[in-house]
Chain A
Amino acid sequence: DVKVTQSSRYLVKRTGEKVFLECVQDMDHENMFWYRQDPGLGLRLIYFSYDVKMKEKGDIPEGYSVSREKKERFSLILESASTNQTSMYLCATQTGNQPQHFGDGTRLSIL
């Protein structure tokens, strides 16, 4: 069974901080994704990656960056956190024609 692990379930940070959200998968999937989920807006794609050191922008990349130094790990970085980045962040992995598998999410609050 695919395991997608997000390092924190809940996180509280302050405005202006640099924030790292980590995602690790154990199934050797080549594709990894970051989404955010907000009430009434569904899930929106932030960034994704096809392979190590590869990254592509999604719908809402502004204010975020990503890092993929190893195949199993995909990090989302908030360069300077702002209150409008308070959200649920979801990581997903995918391979071939299979559907995406999601982690349980990190609920991030920016104060």
Chain B
Amino acid sequence: DQQVKQNSPSLSVQEGRISILNCDYTNSMFDYFLWYKKYPAEGPTFLISISSIKDKNEDGRFTVFLNKSAKHLSLHIVPSQPGDSAVYFCAAPWGSGGGADGLTFGKGTHLIIQP
């Protein structure tokens, strides 16, 4: 059973507007979350993370929000740019050893930025 869920396979947003990508999780023991971005024919690249002791983390145009009671996190991209078109994966540590145990990933959301 998938513990990290991204229920939107794709999302289309106009350039300059806000992109909001959502992620839900089932395991209340998760204490750290990551977002990765993936272009075709390349490996995923780390984008931003958040610890469960915070409810928000910001890095430039990217902000991740965490709602622990709802077991929900979201990635906001403002403003959206054409280079943001990619597949975005939400992830959490797979075991109890933090990132050293590997990650469990959502199925991904394909973000398409329209000119």
Which A residues form the contact surface with B (CB < 8 A)? 4, 9, 30-31, 33, 35, 40-45, 48, 50, 56, 58-59, 90, 92, 94, 97-105
Contact = CB atoms under 8 A, between A and B. Distances in A.
B104 interface: yes
A109 B67 CA distance: 41
Contacts of B107: 40-42
Given A100-B99, A102-B43, 6 more contacts: A42-B105, A42-B107, A43-B103, A48-B101, A104-B41, A104-B43
B42 interface: yes
Interface residues of B, number: 25
B9 interface: yes
B81 interface: no
A57 to B, nearest CB: 10
Nearest to A10: B41
B107 to A, nearest CB: 4
A97 B98 contact: yes
B53 interface: no
Residue from B102, B105, B107 with most neighbouring chain A CB atoms (10 Å): B102
Contacts of A40: 9, 107
Nearest to B97: A50
Contact of B105 (A43, A48, A99): A43
A46 to B, nearest CB: 9
A45 B91 CA distance: 12
Contacts of B45: 102
Interface of B: 6, 9, 34, 36, 41-46, 49, 89, 91, 94, 98-108
A102 to B, nearest CB: 3
Contact of B102 (A30, A48, A97, A101): A48
Given A43-B89, A45-B94, A59-B94, A90 B100 contact: no
Nearest to B4: A42
